[in-house]
Amino acid sequence: MKTDYHLHSNHSYDSKTPVELIKKAADEQDIKSIALTEHHEITKVEFLKPFKIRDIDKYLEDCSNYDIIPGIEFGWDCETEIDIDLELFDFVLLSIHGVEDESRNVNWDNYFRNILYAAENVKRYDFLAHLDFPRRYINGYPEVDKKYYPIIEEIFKVLIKNGKGIEINTCGMRLYREPNPGIEILKLYNSVGGKLLTFGSDAHFDYHVGNNISEAMELACDLGFKKMSVFENGDLIQKNIK
Ligand SMILES: [Zn+2]
Ligand SMILES: [Zn+2]
């Protein structure tokens, strides 16, 4: 069953797309179940500070009116005090965004260390979003250096121990034909016993809703994954990908 569990409407700071248009785009592609995952960033990083849900009540009302799962993409710098009740949302993606050093280069060491810290210390989340996403911002989109695989493996073990999963985010496929995380990292997840998966387009425009989700599902099957997490009657359950 096709799902898209990573979508941004105009409740997010960086999207102008009305909820209605997202719902329409999903319906047109027969995507039966979608979650909005609006940005809410708790951070000292200046350019990320405005990424906050402004009106949670209105947001939850919109989701209920359009029969959409009310989710959140929770970003954290691993320092600033968390000022939102994540229990308000049915679906929580955990994201690490501020990963550049002073010269705006990607600092992979910090990125993975922060993910490990957040994965261990954030109490309420369901899936880790777009692992390896800084790849999107590097010239030529190089694969993550294998020297980081030990810490990635550690991250996966924390997720597995805590009953959390990873997202296969198709935004990378629009740019360089591999999702976030990339194929080699997905293989690593499988090899350490990672099973929980969800799929998301990270669309900020209606014309990106559902993009490459079918291809990503194919890919997951080819890599040996069998199940995906799907909402049914308000609960996340496991269904066969095919
Ligand atoms: Zn994100
Ligand atoms: Zn996002």
Q: What is the mean pLDDT of residues 135-144?
A: 93
Please tell me the distance between residue 241's alpha carbon and the centre of ligand 2 in angstroms.
Answer: 23
Domain hosting 86: range is 3-240
Confidence at residue 83, expressed as pLDDT on a 0 to 100 scale:
87
Mean pLDDT along residues 103-115: 89
Query: What was the pLDDT predicted at 103?
Result: 66
Going from the Cα of 74 to the center of ligand 2, the distance in angstroms, rounded, reads: 9
Percentage of the chain with pLDDT > 70? 99
Banded model confidence at residue 171, pLDDT cuts 50, 70, 90: very high
**Average of per-residue pLDDT across 46-60:** 93
Is the pTM of the predicted complex or chain greater than 0.75?
A: yes
Tell me the percentage of the chain whose pLDDT exceeds 90: 92
User: How many Å apart are CA 112 and CA 20, to the nearest integer?
Assistant: 36
Q: Residue 2: what are its φ and ψ, rounded to 5°? A: -80, 130
Bond from prior residue into 70 cis (ω within 30 degrees of 0): no
Average pLDDT over residues 65-80: 97
Q: How many CB atoms lie under 10 A from the CB of residue 128? A: 25
Q: What is the pLDDT of residue 101?
A: 67
What distance in angstroms lies between residue 200's CA and the mean position of ligand 1's atoms? 11
How many folded domains does the chain comprise?
1
- In the reported structure, the alpha carbon of residue 76 is separated from the centroid of ligand 1 by a whole-number distance in angstroms of 11
Q: How confident is the model at residue 58 (pLDDT cuts 50, 70, 90)?
A: very high
The neighbour count for residue 41, using CB atoms within 10 Å, is: 22
Q: What is the Å distance from ligand 2's center to 230 Cα?
A: 19
Q: What is the pLDDT of residue 98?
A: 81
Nearest ligand to the CA of 95 is 1
Distance 8 CA to ligand 2 centre (A): 7
Cα-based angle 148, 7, 107 (whole degrees, multiple of 5): 25
Nearest ligand to the CA of 7 is 2
Ligand 2 ion: residues within 5 Å (CB):
73, 202
Handedness of CA 146, 94, 28, 136 (dihedral sign): negative
- 68-83 mean pLDDT: 96
Helix (H/G/I), strand (E/B), else coil: 85: coil
> In this structure, what CATH number is given to the domain that contains residue 152?
3.20.20.140
Average of per-residue pLDDT across 170-199: 97
Residue 129 alpha carbon to ligand 1 centre in Å: 7
pLDDT in tens, 4-38: 999 999 999 999 999 999 999 999 999 999 999 99
For residue 71, the model assigns a pLDDT of: 98
- Cα(72) to ligand 2 centroid in Å equals 9
Whether 102 shows a pLDDT value over 80: the answer reads no
**Could you give the CA distance from residue 127 to residue 139 in angstroms, rounded to a whole number?**
28
